[in-house]
Structure 1
């Protein structure tokens, strides 16, 4: 029964967001673009921070495009959660800049851990939110 309430809450949340997008498409486009830019910057900062942990001297400019590309490749529907694809892309893309294979995979796995942590925090916030309103 709780699963049904959760699915209904999720459906209602998405439906409400879609209605808001259609009511104000210009604003929705701006928010989506700002969200994309923010995600790329945060992904690059995460990658740069994690790369410093594994003693990599990869310049920040390369981080601006390498890790977002790796994240996009990891979303391809050819693996579960992008595992394997993310590591392979890290090996190839970071290897082009002379990053040791073990360090490239370590950075990729550290990013995966951060993504999972973010997902767990989001799930906790979702479950702790207000219950879905009953519709009659």
Structure 2
């Protein structure tokens, strides 16, 4: 009973963060301008962006499946990924969806350390991809913009965490639990360390998934631009490549429900120096949130329509006695 209480408390704190961010947005910005921005969007455009967004998540599920070394059927990985999207509707932040996705994969795979390493590795690769894109946008802008220090700081933090997670954690975990074997969860920690070490020994796979992640995020940026232009947001594409990843990285902080309110305000602040109008950026950002929520609802529908449950992988068949004797 204590765990649901803690989860509810975290949800309430993040809901309060989103509510506060949205309240500040609608307090300081003209509500009429934001609402008028919505009226400029057409349903065909909105639905086409939603369809492309869902295809991007099929590619994202593929990336995660590859990091798991294709240890479960692709259809199972796809269902688990869309179940994670559905969980984002009610769980705080992307980490909640990641936990659901990993939990469903574990039901099928029965290898918690491998699933955990793939889940954390996937998230870190995405963050590194975002950092690379925001630095690329900054380079294309010629260093313009007042957030260069924040961009370099966030990117450096992301790169540092990724290196620590993929390459330093295995050695540190083995050293700590080797020196103090009485520490709790020794077996689990060492198995997770082995899984991370195995992933770190595949630089080709890491590089491929990083390029794939950057490509997916680039398409998402382009979709955001297509959604924002009819609303009235007209800034250089390089500014989007600088601002959009920054806003998404900030939105991963555990202070809101999936970045609601935080992503929109951050994106408006970053695009403002390049000639964007804050109410129009917020309007396009809230439309993007609508895409996210609809994708989650579709993920729930996919899970229910495909049976809703996940079967564990069958245990390996015993080896024949003749093979064992050899």
TM tier, smaller: 0.7 to 0.9
**Structure 1 contact 46–111 (Cα < 8 Å) conserved:** no
Instruction: Please list every run of 5 or more consecutive structure 1 residues that lacks an aligned counterpart in the other structure.
Output: 1-5
- Matches of 1:97 and 1:56 in 2, distance apart? 10
State yes or no: 1:22 paired with 2:193: no
Equivalent position to 2:285, from 77, 99, 108: 108
State the match for 1:43 in structure 2: 220
State the match for 2:248 in structure 1: 71
Q: How many residues align?
A: 131
Alignment of 1:1-136 (within 5 A): 9-12=104-107, 15=111, 17=115, 18=118, 22=198, 25-127=202-304, 128=306, 131-133=310-312
Q: What displacement does 1:121 show?
A: 3.2
Q: What displacement does 1:101 show?
A: 1.8
**Which structure has the higher relative contact order (CA within 8 Å, separation 6+)?**
2
State the match for 2:56 in structure 1: none
Q: Deviations over 1:30-69 (max 9, x none)?
A: 3430232123212211121012121222121212221122
Q: Deviations over 1:97-133 (max 9, x none)?
A: 2211210111111121222233333344444277323
Q: TM-score, normalised by structure 1?
A: 0.74
Distance 1:43 1:69, change over 3 A: farther
- Matches of 1:27 and 1:11 in 2, distance apart? 25
Distance 1:81 1:13, change over 3 A: farther
- Matches of 1:125 and 1:30 in 2, distance apart? 31
Q: What displacement does 1:29 show?
A: 0.5
Distance 1:25 1:79, change over 3 A: same
Instruction: Please list every run of 5 or more consecutive structure 2 residues that lacks an aligned counterpart in the other structure.
Output: 1-82, 84-99, 119-194, 316-326
Distance 1:13 1:56, change over 3 A: farther
- Matches of 1:69 and 1:39 in 2, distance apart? 16
Distance 1:35 1:125, change over 3 A: farther
Distance 1:12 1:131, change over 3 A: closer
- Matches of 1:97 and 1:13 in 2, distance apart? 48
